[in-house]
Amino acid sequence: MENLMEKIVSLTKRRGFVFPSSEIYGGFANSYSYGPYGAELKKNIKDLWWKKVVQNRADMVGLDGPILLNPKLWEASGHTEGFNDAMVDCKECKKRYRADHLVEKATGKDLEGQLEEMTKVLKEEKVKCPDCGKSNWTDARNMNMMFKTQMNGFDGDVYLRPETAGAIFIEFKNIIDSMRVKVPFGIAQIGKAFRNEIVAGNFIFRLREFEQMEIEYFVDPEFKWEKMFEEWLEFQEEFAADLGAKKEDLRRYEHPKEKLSHYSKKTVDIEYKFPFGFSELFGLAHRGDFDLKSHSDASGQKLEYFDAQNNRRFTPHILEPTFGLDRSILVTLVSAYTEEKLEDGSERVVMKFPKKLAPVKCAIFPLLKNKPELVGKARELYDALKSQFMCEFDDNGNIGKRYRRQDEIGTPYCVTVDFDTLEDDTVTVRDRDTMEQQRIKIEELEGFLKDNLK
Ligand SMILES: [Zn+2]
């Protein structure tokens, strides 16, 4: 399975989905660019999420907050003080590790948050450095995971937001005042967040700069939330299926009660079977009134909701479904990757993306490059379709080669203009998954694509 990851890393680079960033300068640790097809795929996933979460729901509104926020926010939320990971350095080779991960791997013990205990175990059990094999550790110590920066006109440190949620809590009052929302309702946001991970990796799974799709859903404290909690979990599983995830590759992990933050009633992760094992894809937490209460106390502003019908004032409780966007992309890539043996003995690699997520929907080929009447007709068709669908024109190499390339970028339909087209205005449409070809009248092509790309 490790092999599958290598194949995906290689294909996504070769075919313009994901590039290791800053390569001409020798690279830059764990940063990636989404290339032309990756950017399309990412946009399609975001659009689908927004459509399901905001456009299709009367109880949700969207928000687009800033990355740089007043640092008082991170004090109130506990991030300045407590958003830490335990790190330890190998004195021999100078490599840095997550101390809790080393301890857990070596002894099975979960000592999260217990620095002295971790240091003791690392030294007493002579835990070896995964890199150089020696055992000579510094003490384990906390490292805050927020990226710090400075801003003109502001005294003191400013942080790149470690999650998008903060920007939502602080606009709660503005949204209540400006929109006609009634509890229960939710605010959704897509955006970048930054965490200075001690160890990043697994391709785009754990990035220091990443993108989240987050929802804060506000409910009455008296509300029976259990059913809605279950509905959000089901929604998350449904969204994973939209990405192409198979049911058997998904599972729920409920955080044990004793590991929950003091304010959380329940936290469940949706895990996906990545090539490197089951890992968190989405999360859902009941956060009580912790966030609005903390920001209310720290800012001196009342962050409450007035229920006019029952003449009651209260601080709403929050259900927080979060979705990793880069992880969603990885799920889409992993579940789409298919190797097939064909009848003639040859093999093909095909990215079987859900059709609505495919970066290119339709590729248009003239059968031969050196026949101006075929090229002209194919161009005409491309020009007519490109305002409706992401299309690509390709007259490079033989048809077989062009099919192979479109298979590898997951294009659902390839349309070929040939000599019959000039006679009867029909084209050959080839299906990515079945490889079957059918003749379709040009005037019916747009309708055919619309029906089949839903
Ligand atoms: Zn070492």
Residues 200-231: tens digit of each pLDDT:
889 999 999 999 999 999 999 999 999 999 99
- For the chain, what are the domain ranges? 2-68+151-334, 84-144, 360-452
CA of 92 to the centre of ligand 1 (A): 5
CA of 127 to the centre of ligand 1 (A): 11
The pLDDT of residue 402 is: 96
Fold agreement between 84-144 and 360-452: no
Q: Please check whether residue 135 is in contact with residue 127, taking contact to mean a CB–CB distance below 8 angstroms.
A: yes
3-state secondary structure 48-99: HHHHHHHHCCCCEEEECCCCECCCHHHHHCCHHHHCEEEEEEECCCCCEEEH
CA of 316 to the centre of ligand 1 (A): 49
CA of 89 to the centre of ligand 1 (A): 8
CA of 340 to the centre of ligand 1 (A): 43
Q: With cut-offs at 50, 70 and 90, classify the pLDDT of residue 143.
A: very high
Q: How does pLDDT run across 423-433, given as a tens digit for each residue?
A: 999 999 999 99
**Tokens at residue 1, please?**
């399975």
CA of 96 to the centre of ligand 1 (A): 8
Q: With cut-offs at 50, 70 and 90, classify the pLDDT of residue 2.
A: low
CA of 202 to the centre of ligand 1 (A): 21
Give the C-alpha separation, 236 to 333, whole Å: 18
Which residue in 281, 283, 270 sits closest to 319, CA to CA? 283
Q: How does pLDDT run across 357-403, given as a tens digit for each residue?
A: 999 999 999 999 999 999 999 999 999 999 999 999 999 999 999 99
CATH class label, 360-452 = alpha beta
CA of 124 to the centre of ligand 1 (A): 17
For the cut 90, the answer to whether the pLDDT of residue 259 exceeds it is no
Give the C-alpha separation, 51 to 385, whole Å: 23
Give the C-alpha separation, 261 to 162, whole Å: 18
CA of 135 to the centre of ligand 1 (A): 7
Is pTM beyond 0.85? Reply is: yes
Say which CATH architecture domain 2-68+151-334 belongs to.
2-Layer Sandwich (3.30)
CA of 100 to the centre of ligand 1 (A): 16
CA of 136 to the centre of ligand 1 (A): 8
189 exposure class (CB count in 10 Å sphere: 0-12, 13-18, 19+): buried
Q: How does pLDDT run across 290-348, given as a tens digit for each residue?
A: 999 999 999 999 999 999 999 999 999 999 999 999 999 999 999 999 999 998 899 99
| AA letter at 36 | P
Domain covering 84-144 in this structure, CATH number: 3.30.40.230
**Tokens at residue 66, please?**
């800033």
For the cut 70, the answer to whether the pLDDT of residue 189 exceeds it is yes
Rg for the chain (alpha carbons), in Å? 26
